[in-house]
Structure 1
Amino acid sequence: MSVSEFRASSLIESTEILCREWSRHKISTVGRVQMDLRFSQLRISKNLTVNRLSYGANVSIAPWDRDEVLLVQMPIKGRASAVYAGGEVSIDAARYGVIDVRRVERFTCDADFDALILRVRVDSIREYLEEVLGTPLGHELRFADDMALDSSAWHSWAPFAGMLGGLINESSTEFSPKLLASIENTVVSALVFGQRHNFWDEVRRPCALPAPRHVKRAEAYVLEHAGEMLSTKLLAAHANVSVRTLFNGFRTFRNMTPAEFIRGVRLDRARDDLLAGTHTVSVISKKWGFGHLGNFASHYRKRFGESPVETLRFVGHRCSR
C-alpha cells in the first residue's frame, strides 16, 4: 500500500476531499481567500492512518460527525489551537496536540500550518488497553490533550513520530501489509504507555499487568493438549483472536512466541518422561511432537543444560545404586 496524495485550491473541493477521507466537518476561511490544500495519506489499517496536511489559509474547523478518533497533531511549522468545553489547547512544533474528535468544539490553524497527523480510532486503543489490563474498561477512555517539548511524553513519542514521518514521506513506496500491521500495534502501544490518560495508573502499576485472557486461554489449551498437533493458528482460533493478536500478546506478556511456549511445555513433559526412565529418547521425542531427534536434543540441551541421553544415564545410575 502506498501514499495517496490530494491537492485542491478551493474551499469546496478541499472540504469534499477531507470529508470523504476522514469524516464530515465544516471548514471556514477568514475572508474570500484561496486555499492551497496539500493532503497526503497512508492507510495503515482500517483503524489507523498517517497523514500530512496543510491548508494554505487561515481556517476554522467544526466537526459535523463525532467520529470516535484521536488526531495526534505534530506540526512541522505554524500554529493551531483546539477548543474544548473546558478550555483551549495551543499546538505548534514545540507542543503536539492529541485531539479527541468526540469532544473538540473547534479547531483553528494559521495559513502556514503544516503538520504530520496520526489518525487512530479510539476503539482500537480501547481494545488494546483491555488486553493489557485483562478486564473491560469501566468508563470512557480519555487522553491528555497535548505533549509539551521535553516532557516525558514528548521523549517517549519522538521515535515514533520520526518513524511515521518517514513513512508518509516515501510517497512512491509500496509497503508490505505485514509491515503495516506491525506498525499499528507498535503505535497504539506507544500511545497507551507514553501519553497520559485516565487509566494511566493502572497500566503503569506492575502488579496490574497480567497476561490478557486470550493468552491465558491459549496457554491452558497447550498444557491440556501438548501431545497433539498444535499451531499458532489453532491456538488463535481457540482463543477467538487473530494470529497477530495472539503473537503480540505472547511477545508482550511472555517475551516469547506461541510456538516457543508450545516447545517449552513439550520439553518439560519430555524431561518428566526421561526422568521416569520408562522409554527411550527416540520414543519420547516422537511422543511430544519432535520429528527430528537432533533438533529435540539441541533444544533440550539449551533448556536443561544437558542432553536427553545424559538425563537417562543419570536416571539409570541413580536406579542402579
Structure 2
Amino acid sequence: MLMPASHPQPAGLPRAMLGMPSRQLFASRDLQETCSQISRVMKRHALQVVGPRQRLDARMHHLTFGDVSLSRLSHGAEVRIEPGELSDFFLVMMPLHGHAQVRCGNEAVDSTPDVASVISAHLGTTMHWSADCDQLMVRISRPFLERMLTAQLGREPDAPLQFALGFRWRDHAAWHCLVRYLVDWADQSVQPTDHKIIVGQLEQLVASSLLCSQPHNFSAAPAARRSVVLPRHVKRVQEYLQAHAHESIRAETLADVAGVSLRSLYAGFQDFCGVSPMQYLRNIRLERVRAELLAGTVTGGVASVALRWGFSHLGRFSAEYKAHFGESPSQTLRRT
C-alpha cells in the first residue's frame, strides 16, 4: 500500500485558491461526482479509492488562461487514477503535500514537492496518489504547445513531443516564478477573460518556459537553416502590429502574416529593426500608453492605462517606460 508522506509546502507558494470560493470547481465525498467534475476540465478517467477504510473528501479549484489552465486538486484519500492517454493536452503536476507514483509510457517517477511530473499527451498514464496528496496542476493545450515547438524549431516536428517525466521544477527559476505568478492571479478577484492581451502573453510564457526548462525529445534538435527575409515581409508584420496592438497577438500568428517561419521572421526583425517582433509590439504599446497619458483624459491613473495595454507588472512597466522615454509614467501624466 502507498503510505502517506509528510512534506512542507514549497517556499514562496501560498495556499492560494483554497480560500477563494470563486475559483472552487467542486467539493465532494461522492466518487462518481468527483470523477465527473474532474473530467469536465481534464478528461474522462477511472478513479478508485484504495483501501476499505479510506473515505473520499475531494476538492478542486480551477482557473483558465486561454490554452493554459491552473488547478489545485486533492482527493482526501489514497486513490488510483487511470486516465490513459491525455491526447489533447500536456499536464504538469506539482505536489504541495504528499506524493504520487506516476507512470507515463515506459517511465515512472515518485513525485514529491521537489519533483513534479510532466505527462506527455500521447503516452498512456496511471497514477497512485497518497491520501494527503495535494497538487497544483498546469494544463497546456497540445495543439498550442506543438505550435510553440514548431515556432522554436523553425519546422514541423517529425515525432510527437515527449518530455522527460520527472521535473525538478523548483530548480528552474523561470518556471517557479511563473507558477507563483499564476497562483497570484488565482488569488485575486480579476477575471482573465477581461485581460486578453495579458492572457495571450501568459500562454506563450507558460509554453516556452516548459519547453526551455524541461528536457524533451527535441531539446537537442538543430535550428532550422536561416532563410532570407525580405523587407516587405517585415513591413507587413509592422503594419499588422500597428493595426492590432490592442489585441492578444501570438508569435506564430505573425509568422503566418509574414508568410515565413517564425525563426526567419525574428531574424528579419533583428536585421531591419534591431529588436524582435514581440519587443516591437511592446514598443508600440508603450507609445500608445504615452499617447493616452499625454491626452489628459486618463481615469484610474497610470495603472489602469498600463493594464489595458497589456503591462501587468507595474514595476517592470515603469522601468521599461522610463528607459524608453527618459521619464516615468507619472512624470508624463503630470505634464498634462
| Cα distance in structure 2, aligned partners of 1:235 and 1:221 | 17
Q: Is the 8 A contact 2:84 2:123 kept in 1?
A: no
Q: Provide the rounded CA distance (Å) in 1 between the counterparts of 2:143 and 2:57.
A: 33
1:51–1:117: 8 Å Cα contact kept in structure 2? yes
Partner residue, 1:37: 58
Aligned counterpart for 2:190 among listed residues 146, 160, 173: 173
Cα distance per residue 1:179-215 (max 9 Å; x no partner) = 222100111010111111111013xx6x65858x9xx
Runs of 4+ in 1 over 6 A off after TM superposition: 233-236, 250-253
For residues 94-138 of structure 1, the C-alpha deviation after alignment (integer angstroms, 9 at most, x for no partner) is 111112243133111011111110011222111111112211111
User: 2:86–2:124: 8 Å Cα contact kept in structure 1?
Assistant: no
1:164 aligned residue (182, 185, 188): 182
Which one has a larger percent helix, Structure 1 or Structure 2? Answer: 1
Counterpart contact for 1:232–1:259, Cα < 8 Å: no
Q: Does 1:194 align with 2:203?
A: no
Residues 283-310 of structure 1: CA distance to partner in whole angstroms, max 9, x if unpaired? Answer: xxxxxxxxxxxxxxxxxxx9xxxxxxxx
Identity %: 23
- Corresponding position of 1:127: 147
1:120 maps to amino acid: I
Structure 1 residue 168, shift from structure 2 partner: 2.7
State the distance in 2 between where 1:100 and 1:44 align. 20
The 8 Å contact of residues 78 and 93 in structure 1, kept in 2 or not, is answered as yes
Give the structure with higher Rg (CA).
Answer: 1
1:20 corresponds in structure 2 to 40
In structure 2, the partner of 1:114 is 134
CA distance in 1, matches of 2:59, 2:27: 5
Check 1:196–1:3 CA distance in 2 against 1; reply closer, same or farther (3 A cut): same
For residues 75 and 247 of structure 1, do their structure 2 counterparts lie closer, same or farther at Cα, with a shift above 3 Å needed? Answer: same
- CA distance change for structure 1 residues 139 and 231 in 2, over 3 Å: closer, same or farther? closer
> What are the superposed Cα offsets for residues 128-168 of structure 1, whole Å, 9 maximum, x if unpaired?
111122111111111111112675xx344221222222223
Let me know the Cα RMSD of the aligned residues: 3.5
How many aligned residue pairs are there? 243
C-alpha distance 11-136 of structure 1, shift in aligned 2 (>3 A) = same
Change (3 A) 1:235 1:220: farther
Query: Residue type of the partner of 1:10?
Result: D
Q: Which runs of 5+ in 2 are unaligned?
A: 1-21, 256-261, 284-323, 325-336
The CA distance in 2 between the partners of 1:186 and 1:220, in whole Å, is 29
Long gaps (5+) in structure 1:
237-241, 264-301, 303-321
- What residue number does 1:220 align with? 232
Q: Rate the CA distance shift 1:210–1:81 in 2: closer, same or farther, 3 A.
A: farther
Q: Deviations over 1:242-286 (max 9, x none)?
A: 84335696789743447959x9xxxxxxxxxxxxxxxxxxxxxxx
SS in 2 for 1:43: strand
Structure 1 residues 260 and 30: CA distance shift in structure 2, 3 A: closer
* Contact 1:26–1:63, Cα closer than 8 Å, also in 2: yes
2:98 match: 78
